[in-house]
Structure 1
Amino acid sequence: MVLQSLSLQLYSVRHALDDDLPGTLARVAEIGYQQVEASHKLYSRGPELAQAVRDNGLGVPTYTSPLVTLPGREVPDPQAVFAGARELGATAVIDTYIPEEHWTSREDVETIIEGLNTAAVAAAEHGLRVGYHNHWWELEQRFDGRTALEVLVDGLRPEVVMEIDAYWVAVGGEDVLALLDRLGDRVRFLHLKDGPISRNNLEQQPAGKGKLPIEAIIAATPQVEAGAVEFDEYAGDIFEGIAASFEYLRTRTAATA
Structure 2
Amino acid sequence: MTAALSVQLYSVRDALAADLPGTLDRIAGLGFANVELFGFVDRVDEYRTALANAGLTALSGHAALAEGDAERALDAAAALGMRTLIEPMVRHGWETADGVSAIADRLGQIAAQARPLGIEVGYHNHTWEFESEIDGRNAFDVFTERLDPAVVLEIDTYWAEVGGASAPELLARLGDRVRLIHVKDGPRSTDAAAQQPAGSGDMPVKEILAAAPGAVRVIEFDAYAGDIFDGIAQSLRFVSGQAS
TM-score range, shorter chain: over 0.9
Q: Does 1:97 align with 2:89?
A: yes
Unaligned runs of 5+ in 1: 70-74
In 1: Cα distance, 2:41 partner to 2:197 partner: 26
Q: Does 1:236 align with 2:226?
A: yes
Q: Which residue of 2 aligns with 1:58?
A: 56
Is the CA contact 2:58–2:80 (under 8 Å) kept in the aligned structure 1?
A: yes
Equivalent runs, 1:56-205 vs 2, <5 Å = 56-69=54-67, 75-76=68-69, 78-99=70-91, 101-205=92-196
TM-aligned CA deviation for residue 90 of structure 1: 1.5
CA deviations 1:155-190 (Å, max 9, x no partner) are 111111100011111101111122122222211110
Is the CA contact 1:196–1:211 (under 8 Å) kept in the aligned structure 2?
A: yes
Q: Which residue of 1 aligns with 2:42?
A: 44
Is the CA contact 1:61–1:90 (under 8 Å) kept in the aligned structure 2?
A: yes
Is the CA contact 2:44–2:80 (under 8 Å) kept in the aligned structure 1?
A: no
Residue type of the alignment partner of 1:140: E
In 2: Cα distance, 1:46 partner to 1:133 partner: 22
Is the CA contact 2:95–2:134 (under 8 Å) kept in the aligned structure 1?
A: no
In 1: Cα distance, 2:138 partner to 2:175 partner: 15
Residue type of the alignment partner of 1:186: R
In 2: Cα distance, 1:211 partner to 1:6 partner: 22
In 2: Cα distance, 1:102 partner to 1:26 partner: 40
Is the CA contact 2:154–2:180 (under 8 Å) kept in the aligned structure 1?
A: yes
TM-aligned CA deviation for residue 211 of structure 1: 1.1
TM-score between both structures, scaled by the size of structure 1: 0.90
Structure ranking higher on relative contact order (CA contacts 8 Å, 6+ apart): 1
In 1: Cα distance, 2:44 partner to 2:110 partner: 24
Is the CA contact 1:3–1:227 (under 8 Å) kept in the aligned structure 2?
A: no
Q: Does 1:34 align with 2:26?
A: no
RMSD of aligned C-alpha atoms? 1.5
SS of the aligned residue for 1:23 comes to helix
In 1: Cα distance, 2:104 partner to 2:200 partner: 35
SS of the aligned residue for 1:102 comes to coil
In 1: Cα distance, 2:208 partner to 2:222 partner: 20
Same amino acid, percent of matched pairs? 42
In 1: Cα distance, 2:133 partner to 2:49 partner: 44
Residue type of the alignment partner of 2:225: A
C-alpha distance 232-55 of structure 1, shift in aligned 2 (>3 A): same
In 1: Cα distance, 2:219 partner to 2:147 partner: 26
TM-aligned CA deviation for residue 83 of structure 1: 2.2
TM-score between both structures, scaled by the size of structure 2: 0.95
In 1: Cα distance, 2:243 partner to 2:53 partner: 23
CA deviations 1:200-236 (Å, max 9, x no partner) are 0000011111111111111111231x11011111111
In 1: Cα distance, 2:11 partner to 2:139 partner: 27
Is the CA contact 2:104–2:143 (under 8 Å) kept in the aligned structure 1?
A: yes
Residue type of the alignment partner of 1:242: I
Unaligned runs of 5+ in 2: none
SS of the aligned residue for 1:13 comes to helix
CA deviations 1:100-127 (Å, max 9, x no partner) are x332211211110111011010001211
SS of the aligned residue for 1:42 comes to coil
